[in-house]
Structures are given as structure tokens and as C-alpha cells.
Amino acid sequence: MAYGSISRPGRTHSLQPRLYPLPSKLSKSGGAQSVSQDECYALTLPFSADLRPPVALETAMRQCFNNELEAGSTYPQRGPMSRQEFSSYFLANDLIVGLLFSKAELQLQQVPINAEAEPDLLAEVLTEAIQNTSDNVLDFHGHLPTSGMALQLDVASLIQRVSTEGTVDWESRWRFAYYIKPNYPGRSSHLCNAGFLVPPSARGSGLGSLAGLSFVHYGPAAGYIGSIFNLVYVSNVASMRIWESLGFEQVGRIRKAGLLKTGPDGTEEFVDAWIVQGDFDKLTKIQEQRAAERLDQAAQIEKKTI
């Protein structure tokens, strides 16, 4: 590591769970029950070195990551990583995990927005809800809830409800995960880096874009003003498409940055990589503008139906 151990910037608030409607093109696979795509939601849970994910969830993520390293086309490490190595790399800072739940499982209720509650992280009550539509956190009907109201979710009770003999099938629940850590030390530690995982069963369904969208929220919430992706290999077209759609920019190209298994029959070849940068203030404004446009379109449609 070029800079050794890097401390993350300070922040005044802990990261909180959030609820995201799944992309419309998602075809659900796995989970506790069969539900239609418009009844599923992704619950993002923040973890950290002080609040570790369940062992079964960590194991599922490590297996997915090692498979990705073996494929040799997205991450620079050769792997495989031991549990300790994976923990040091992926779990030592902030970790966001997106879990799949049905509408029936969530059992959301509307409560006054000014409800005062600061429970333990995993028993968090989502009162932040739809005050901010910049990252597409919506109610079940796809528009703002009643003025002055928010959605309430007791995460601890949810986990208990979906447990079987005290165990949750984390492997079928998780749909994406990513770490957030400083990209540079000291005077440049306000710029973060993130590494993303989407299990094969969830790929091609828009969940990578949803993970990126949630990152635009969690990055600044974690105390950073911007993000740098040091190596987005040019062969990783899907990843680059996501970042460009969210407003990230290519700021440099590194020649022969990776020796990847992208050649014929999986042979290794040198591949260039993009350096990708995002300014969270700018990215947030982009999402706010898009949210305003969606609300305006919804209002126009509603007028036509009256």
C-alpha cells in the first residue's frame, strides 16, 4: 500500500439504514418467498469495524469476492483471500450491504416525521424516509407520502421475522455490497474509494446501478466530499456505464494498468484502466434534479387522468 494505514475522516452522525425500491427490470431470484418485482425492496444496512456483519453474510461475500478474483477481470488482486485478508481489505472501514425483502416482510408504517427516536443501529427506525427524494427513496406508490409523515421500519424486528430458528439465509438475501474507505491519507483523506460486489444471481438486473445510487448518498454521509476510482478497467463496460449515468467523470487513462484474463479462452492480456472521479455535491444535485423531473412527470400524468 503506497500510503500505509489511512484513517477515515471524522463525521458527526452514524450511517443509517435506507430503503430503495428495486429497479423495474429486476427479476427476483432467491429470498424467503416468491413475490412480484414491484413488491421487492433493497434495505441498505451499514456495517463497520465496530459493527461487523453476521459471519454467514461475511462468508458469502468473501466467496463472491474470491470468485471475482479468480475470474481475473475486475479487481487487481490475484487472490484468493483468507478470511483475515478479506476482513482487512473489505471490512476494515465502512461497509454497505443491500438486502432483498418483500413489501409484506417489511411491514412499514407511516409515522410523523418529527418522531424522536435514536435506537441502536440495527434497530434503527427509518424516519429520514421520503424527506429527500434525491436518491429515489419512495413510498410504495412511487410518490411522496402524506405531508409530515415518514416510513418507519424496525430493522431488528424485521431480521427476527425473516429468521428460521434464529438464522437468516443471508446468501439469498444480499444483492450488493461495497466498502467505503479513504483513497488518500491526511490532507487528501476527504476523497474516498469504494469497491463493489454484486453476486452473479443479481447481475444484469439494475442492482449495480442501485448500489451506485446509494453510494452517492453514503459517500458524503460518511464524511467525504468526493470519490476516486483508481482502476476501472476499460473492459469493464458495465461498471463505466453506471458511473457515467450517475454523473462521474473519466479524468485519466492508465495504459496497460492490468494483466487481466480477458484474452481468448481466458488468457491474460494487458488492459488499460480509467481513473474515475465524482464530486458528491455535484452528483447530489444531479439526483435532486432528476427527482424533481420525475415528480413533475408524475404530476403531469396525474392531471391527465383526472
Kindly give the confidence (pLDDT) of every residue in the chain, 306 residues in length, as a single tens digit, with 9 standing for 90 and above.
Answer: 566 667 777 776 788 888 888 876 554 444 333 344 447 888 898 998 888 888 889 999 999 999 999 999 999 999 899 999 999 999 999 999 999 988 888 887 665 544 444 333 222 333 333 233 333 333 322 333 344 555 667 777 787 777 776 677 888 899 999 999 999 999 999 999 999 999 998 888 889 999 999 999 999 999 999 999 999 999 999 999 999 999 999 999 999 999 999 999 999 999 999 999 999 999 999 988 888 887 788 777 777 776
Cα distances (Å, whole numbers) of residue 119 to 124, 235, 281:
5, 44, 29
List alpha helices for 144-279, DSSP H. Answer: 155-161, 170-173, 207-221, 237-246
Top CATH class of 18-225 equals alpha beta
**Beta 226-233 vs 191-197: how paired, if at all?**
parallel
Confidence (pLDDT) at 221: 93
Q: Cell for 49? A: 469495524
Annotated domain spans of the chain: 18-225
pTM of the model: 0.82
Residues 6+ positions from 120 with CB-CB distance below 8 Å: 156
Confidence (pLDDT) at 2: 63
Q: Distance between CA 75 and CA 65 in Å, rounded?
A: 9
Question: What is the rounded radius of gyration, in angstroms, for the C-alpha atoms of the chain?
Answer: 20
Residues 6+ positions from 258 with CB-CB distance below 8 Å: 76, 231, 233, 270, 271, 273
Confidence (pLDDT) at 4: 64
Confidence (pLDDT) at 57: 92
